[in-house]
């Protein structure tokens, strides 16, 4: 699919010369993407044909195809390999954070289970009542975001970040209701309890969480969001951005499953347009 994944997989099987080429890609990417095959060959101390063969090996048609592929994925793929910013210089820090965020989106997109999302969207669109559960700074934000997005389509929805409240809501929920729970860690046992309780009465439970986690196992429908973890505890923003995007996708698909949604949205839009005398229109963005 993308060169960097292939490179990770093939790494062990590469010959010495090919390894030297790979090293240049990883270390001096800017050079690699701008160099001609001759320049690259010289720097890697190999012959041009070896470079061509290397390109074929990582799944490209030709050297120029390789460069295009490289340039295409590099923008988002690089940080995957270089986890720390080069320096404390504001420019480097900014670039590091931006690229990490874009990378998170990239990885999310690649690992997205569209069938699960579509299934979840259909259930949500038909639900008589929706509960959005999430606790902790990150997941509670996701829960309110869900509420924020879904009420606009005329759906009945409430968000809760309180475990006790979640349990009570889950206990009172009916089979026509849907619970959407978010857990970055997948280890929110309180959420698991709510899910288990709700499923006894036939409530549909949807989880936004790590695949195969405790929370995932407790839910009817799982929208898995698996991002490279590691340092993520100290840098949670990129993970959160991925979750936000996932909610955005889910909400958009819900809208397509609701015939009236277009009408409701149009009404909101007209109201906004009618209102916008003093550019008030923008105020609703805050």
Partner DNA sequence: GATCCTTGCAAATTATTTTCGTGATAAGTT
Partner DNA sequence: AACTTATCACGAAAATAATTTGCAAGGATC
Question: Applying CB under 7 A, which residues contact DNA?
Answer: 15-18, 36-38, 45-53, 55, 62-64
Q: Choose the one of its own copies, DNA, none that binds residue 47, judging by a C-beta under 5 to 8 angstroms depending on kind.
A: DNA
17 binds its own copies (CB under 8 A): no
Q: Which of 27, 175, 196, 282 binds its own copies (CB under 8 A)?
A: 282
Residue 18 or 220: the one with the smaller Cβ distance to DNA is: 18
Site track for its own copies across 96-135, x = CB under 8 A: -xx--xx--xx-xx--x-xx-xx--x------------xx
Q: Which of 78, 168, 217, 236 binds its own copies (CB under 8 A)?
A: 236
Query: Considering only CA atoms, which of 225, 185, 215, 256 is closest in space to residue 105?
Result: 225
Q: Rounded to an integer, what distance in angstroms lies between the CA atom of residue 201 and that of residue 229?
A: 35
Look at the block and give the residue holding tokens 């259930």: 123
The answer for residues whose C-beta is within 8 angstroms of residue 70's C-beta and 6 or more apart is: 3, 25, 29, 32, 33
Considering the complex, what minimum distance in angstroms separates the CB of residue 286 from its own copies?
3
Contact (CB, 8 A) for 150 and 167: no
Q: Residue 178, exposed/middle/buried by CB under 10 A (0-12, 13-18, 19+)?
A: buried
In the structure, how many helices (H) and strands (E) does the chain have? Answer: 14, 5
Q: 35-54: which residues touch its own copies (CB under 8 A)? A: 36
CB neighbours of residue 264 within 10 Å: 16
What's phi and psi for 88, nearest 5 deg?
A: -90, 5
Considering the complex, what minimum distance in angstroms separates the CB of residue 26 from DNA?
17
For residue 29, the surrounding DSSP H or E stretch is: helix 29-34
How many CA within 13 A on the CB side of residue 19? 6
Q: Which of 44, 170, 216, 253 binds its own copies (CB under 8 A)?
A: 253
Q: 173-232: which residues touch its own copies (CB under 8 A)? A: 183-188, 229, 232
Contact (CB, 8 A) for 8 and 34: no
Q: Choose the one of DNA, its own copies, none that binds residue 93, judging by a C-beta under 5 to 8 angstroms depending on kind.
A: its own copies
Region from 13-21, 67-75, 163-171, 195-203 binding its own copies, contact rule CB under 8 A? 67-75
Q: Choose the one of DNA, its own copies, none that binds residue 232, judging by a C-beta under 5 to 8 angstroms depending on kind.
A: its own copies
Residue 26 or 265: the one with the smaller Cβ distance to DNA is: 26
Q: Which of 25, 58, 132, 141 binds its own copies (CB under 8 A)?
A: 141
């Amino acid at each position: 699919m993308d060169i960097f994944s292939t490179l990770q997989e093939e790494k062990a099987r590469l010959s010495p010369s090919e390894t030297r080429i790979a090293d240049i890609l990883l270390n001096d990417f800017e050079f690699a993407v701008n160099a001609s095959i001759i320049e690259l060959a010289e720097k890697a101390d190999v012959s041009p044909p070896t470079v061509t063969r290397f390109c074929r090996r990582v799944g490209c048609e030709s050297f120029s195809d390789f460069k295009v592929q490289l340039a295409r994925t590099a923008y988002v793929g690089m940080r995957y390999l270089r986890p720390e910013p080069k320096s404390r210089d504001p420019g480097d820090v900014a670039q590091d954070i931006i690229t990490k965020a874009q990378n998170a989106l990239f990885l999310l997109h690649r690992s997205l289970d569209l069938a699960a999302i579509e299934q979840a969207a259909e259930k949500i669109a038909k639900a008589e009542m929706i509960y959005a559960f999430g606790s902790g700074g990150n997941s509670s934000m996701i829960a309110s975001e869900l509420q924020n997005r879904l009420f606009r389509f005329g759906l009945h929805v409430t968000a809760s970040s309180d475990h006790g409240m979640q349990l009570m809501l889950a206990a009172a929920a009916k089979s026509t209701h849907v619970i959407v729970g978010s857990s970055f860690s997948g280890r929110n046992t309180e959420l698991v309890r709510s899910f288990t309780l709700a499923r006894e009465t036939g409530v549909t439970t949807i989880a936004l969480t790590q695949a195969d986690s405790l929370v995932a196992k407790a839910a009817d429908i799982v929208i898995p969001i698996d991002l490279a973890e590691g340092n993520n505890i100290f840098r949670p923003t990129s993970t959160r951005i991925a979750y936000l995007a996932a909610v955005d996708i889910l909400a958009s698909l819900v809208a397509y499953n609701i015939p009236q949604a277009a009408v409701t949205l149009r009404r909101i839009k007209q109201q906004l347009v009618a209102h916008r005398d003093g550019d008030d229109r923008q105020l609703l963005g805050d």
